[in-house]
């Protein structure tokens, strides 16, 4: 969710319309809010399709597909667990450093990870692992 709601004139029936365009300078918190809104409104698979279509800057160098998949995966898990929007934003899974629990820095810096999803390189096989959502 980004932008400000626009409201109708006072006295008229109040209607809230969310502006979905992202600001040019995106903070991590704004990005997580945007992913959260997409996951809640569209579901995780369609949220990822939308992120891939609009390609928002996921890190300092622009769009990063592996990190986009990670954020959708993390937000989906937290939403399914019943967390509020504030709970999702404050949760360690959505911290900008959390992907380093699943990928080494060299893999995340690779061109392959930027342009497509690269499976996690760290962690045990029995642990929950970030993956592309299934339709």
Written as six digits, the tokens of 43 are 């579901």
Q: Does 115 have pLDDT greater than 50?
A: yes
DSSP secondary structure code for residue 126 in this structure = T
Tens digit of each residue's pLDDT (9 = 90 or more) over 73-111 = 999 999 999 999 999 999 999 999 999 999 999 999 999
CB 122 within 8 A of CB 104: yes
Measured distance CA(28)–CA(2) in Å, rounded: 12
Give the global pTM: 0.81
Name every residue whose Cβ is closer than 8 Å to that of residue 68 and which is 6 or more positions away in sequence: 35, 48, 51, 52, 58
- Whole-number mean pLDDT of the chain? 86
């Amino acid at each position: 969710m980004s932008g400000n709601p626009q409201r109708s004139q006072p006295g008229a029936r109040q209607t809230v319309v969310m502006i979905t365009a992202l600001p040019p300078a995106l903070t991590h918190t704004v990005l997580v809010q945007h992913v959260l809104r997409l996951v809640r409104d569209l579901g995780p698979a369609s949220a990822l399709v939308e992120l891939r279509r609009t390609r928002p800057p996921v890190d300092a160098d622009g769009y990063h597909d592996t990190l986009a998949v990670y954020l959708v995966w993390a937000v989906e898990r937290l939403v399914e667990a019943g967390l509020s929007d504030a709970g999702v934003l404050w949760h360690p899974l959505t911290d900008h450093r959390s992907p380093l629990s699943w990928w080494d820095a060299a893999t995340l810096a690779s061109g392959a990870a930027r342009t497509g999803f690269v499976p996690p390189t760290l962690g045990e096989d029995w642990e929950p692992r970030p993956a592309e959502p299934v339709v």
